[in-house]
Amino acid sequence: MKSKANSKYYSLIVVFTVIFFLCMAFCFMRFRTLSHQHKMRSLSYRKETIELEERMYGSEHIFSSLYFDDNYEEVFDGYWEFADAYLAYVRGRFSEEKAPYIERVQGYLDTAPGGEREKVMQKYLEELSKP
Amino acid sequence: MKCTNCGADFASDQLKCPYCGRVNEHALKLAKELQTYDKAYEEKRDELLETGTGQVLKHLTFGMGIVFALIIVIAFGCVAFYQYRYSEHSTYEVTGARLAKNREMIGQYLEEKQYIRAYLLASSTDPTNEHFQYYPEYAADLSDIYTYSLILVDVLQSMESMDEGDNYAPLRDTDVITMQIFYGSGNESPIKEELTQEVDGYLKNYYRLTDGEIEDLKESASGGQFTLEGSADIEGVTKSRMEAYFEK
């Protein structure tokens, strides 16, 4: 009887230990998943990603990067200014009346920070301005 | 002690007289009593050990149970908090001052005609996943902007394919359904009007639909039949028109 009582305690200790480690494993995996998601959606990670994509694929892909990665924050203001001008170019390209879109693209170039984006937008302006 | 038989002196703990061999009854009795006592002692010792071990195990089990339970509760609490704060569909972003700030930014973006940016902010922070329940004042416009963004992305990808010299990416059946949803939303806000003009422009100037065909598309129900030149092969018809126009 006494051996039975002790063996009951031994069993309980084993069960508690197994449950404990299972719960800890679950918490660890969940925490790791959440951490990974948080890192992928962090502002710094997304900013690095958009900079990398711009270097790899060119300024033409800025809008795609902004859209697919949900980059709406203020830190992406410069990219959105380019994207707005780019969309104006796209609308103007397939529009009969191009003047408003040329003006919009020119407006971006007047305040553009220079660099690769300005060159790309200049190219778009020339294309829109062709008769 | 003296032997009862021969009277010789010998140690009282000896079982026999060393001289005549007579059994020492007293020592024998004591030896038997000692044996009985030893046996009883061992049994009692084992019993006490067993009981003591049981007590220790009981306390250990109880203590482990409490400690493990406490650690598990704390761990789950931390995970639950982290999930609330950092998960993809958390309500954290739509409480208190953050919700007010989100609404303000959405209004600002819409005013500045950064429609897609406004939609991205709303969809990223809305845990109801595209229903915009937390932004009811903008829900209709945001829903239209979402559908419009799908159309725009398709146009951009198609245009990119065309510019790279690949095959033309014409209007597909899924694009038609998206446009039917967009046109049929029932929203009549100035933003919807502006977006409608833009989508009309893409259909006319890029996919080469006529004004009459665009009107037919607007009037067709979502998922309903839409034909071009009497054919349900929208993709084939638009592709041939695009090729004819852009390769001039």
Given a cut of 80, is residue B131 above it in pLDDT?
A: no
Q: What is the ipTM of this complex?
A: 0.85
Q: Which residues of B touch A84 (CB under 8 A)?
A: 113-114
User: A17 — contact with chain B (CB < 8 Å)?
Assistant: yes
* Cα angle, residue B203 at apex, residues B197 and B205 outer, rounded to 5°: 90
Cα(A56)–Cα(A49) distance, rounded to whole angstroms? 10
Cα(B94)–Cα(B122) distance, rounded to whole angstroms? 10
User: A72 — contact with chain B (CB < 8 Å)?
Assistant: yes
Longest dimension (CA), chain B: 147
Given a cut of 80, is residue B195 above it in pLDDT?
A: yes
Q: Which tokens go with A122?
A: 């200049």
What is the Rg, in whole angstroms, of the alpha carbon atoms belonging to chain A? 28
Given a cut of 60, is residue A1 above it in pLDDT?
A: no
Residue B90, pLDDT score: 78
Q: What DSSP designation does B94 have? A: G
User: B48 — contact with chain A (CB < 8 Å)?
Assistant: no
Q: How confident is the model at residue A73 (pLDDT cuts 50, 70, 90)?
A: very high
Classify B16 as helix, strand or coil: strand
CB atoms near residue B170 (< 10 Å): 20
Residue with structure tokens 């700030």? B101
**Alpha-carbon separation of residue A67 from A47, B9, B123, B222 (angstroms):** 13, 115, 11, 25
Cα distance from N-terminal residue to C-terminal residue, chain B: 140
| B43: in domain | no
Distance to chain A for B177, nearest Cα, Å: 21
Cα(B25)–Cα(B12) distance, rounded to whole angstroms? 10
| B177: in domain | yes
Q: Which residues of A touch B107 (CB under 8 A)?
A: none
Mean pLDDT of chain B: 89
**Alpha-carbon separation of residue B6 from A47, B10, B17, B212 (angstroms):** 114, 11, 9, 146
Distance to chain B for A110, nearest Cα, Å: 18
Cα(B200)–Cα(B163) distance, rounded to whole angstroms? 22
| B56: in domain | no
Distance to chain B for A115, nearest Cα, Å: 22
Residue with structure tokens 């995996």? A29
Chain A residue whose CA is closest to B121: A72
pLDDT tens column, B23-74: 888 888 888 999 999 999 998 988 888 888 888 889 999 999 999 999 999 9
Q: Which residues contact B149 (CB under 8 A, 6 or more apart)?
A: A67, B116, B119
Give me the long-range contacts of B228-234 (CB less than 8 A, separation at least 24). Answer: B234/B170, B234/B171, B234/B172, B234/B173, B234/B176
- How many domains does one find in chain B? 1
Q: How many residues does chain A have?
A: 131
Instruction: Fill in the amino acid letter for A68.
Output: F
B79:A5 CB<8 A = no
B117:A17 CB<8 A = no
More confident: B221 or A105: A105
Are the CB atoms for A49 and A69 separated by under 8 Å? Answer: yes
Instruction: Fill in the amino acid letter for B98.
Output: R
Cα(B185)–Cα(B141) distance, rounded to whole angstroms? 10
| B5: in domain | no
B50:A2 CB<8 A = yes
Are the CB atoms for B89 and B96 separated by under 8 Å? Answer: no
| B178: in domain | yes
Q: Which residues of B touch A17 (CB under 8 A)?
A: 64, 68
Task: List residues bridging with B231 in a β-sheet.
Answer: B228
Cα(B219)–Cα(B176) distance, rounded to whole angstroms? 12
User: B164 — contact with chain A (CB < 8 Å)?
Assistant: no
pLDDT tens column, A40-64: 889 999 999 999 999 999 888 999 9
Query: Which of A1, A17, A27, A32 should one mutate to test binding to chain B, selecting the residue with the greatest count of B CBs within 10 A?
Result: A27
Residue B248, pLDDT score: 64
Chain A residue whose CA is closest to B88: A37
A23:B76 CB<8 A = yes
Residue A109, pLDDT score: 92
Instruction: DSSP for A60-125, please give it.
Output: GGHHHHHHHTT--SGGGHHHHHHHHHHHHHHHHHT-S--HHHHHHHHHHHHT---SHHHHHHHHHH
Q: Which tokens go with B224?
A: 């309903």
pLDDT tens column, A9-44: 899 999 999 999 999 999 999 999 999 988 988 999
Whole domain around residue B143: which residue ranges?
92-246
Classify B231 as helix, strand or coil: strand
Each domain of chain A, given as residue ranges in start order, spans: 1-40, 43-131
Given a cut of 90, is residue B246 above it in pLDDT?
A: no
Residue B52, pLDDT score: 85
CB atoms near residue B93 (< 10 Å): 17
